[in-house]
Amino acid sequence: MVQVKFLKNCGAYTVGDVAGFEEAKADLLIKRNIAEKHVPERGKGTTGKQGGNAAAN
């Protein structure tokens, strides 16, 4: 599972959302400049925002 942070709106996701995807899907989003790889900061906890299972196109 790879976490990505969205740079553009995509399907159910908006700019700034963080979601986890299988590596191939995450790589595609990154390659298309829709998202960037996200590395959570330690000690920050959760933002309260939940990711979904919607397909990203």
pLDDT at 41: 84
For residue 33, tell me if it sits in a domain. Answer: yes
For residue 51, tell me if it sits in a domain. Answer: no
For residue 15, tell me if it sits in a domain. Answer: yes
For residue 25, tell me if it sits in a domain. Answer: yes
Angle (CA) 39 51 46, round 5°: 55
For residue 6, tell me if it sits in a domain. Answer: yes
Per the structure, the count of domains in the chain is 1
For residue 52, tell me if it sits in a domain. Answer: no
- What is the pTM for the complete model shown? 0.70
For residue 24, tell me if it sits in a domain. Answer: yes
Sign of the Cα torsion 39, 41, 1, 34 reads negative
pLDDT at 43: 77
For residue 49, tell me if it sits in a domain. Answer: no
Tens of pLDDT along the chain (57 residues)?
A: 999 999 999 999 999 999 999 999 999 999 999 999 999 888 765 555 555 555 555
Please give the residue range of the domain that contains residue 9: 2-37
pLDDT at 35: 98
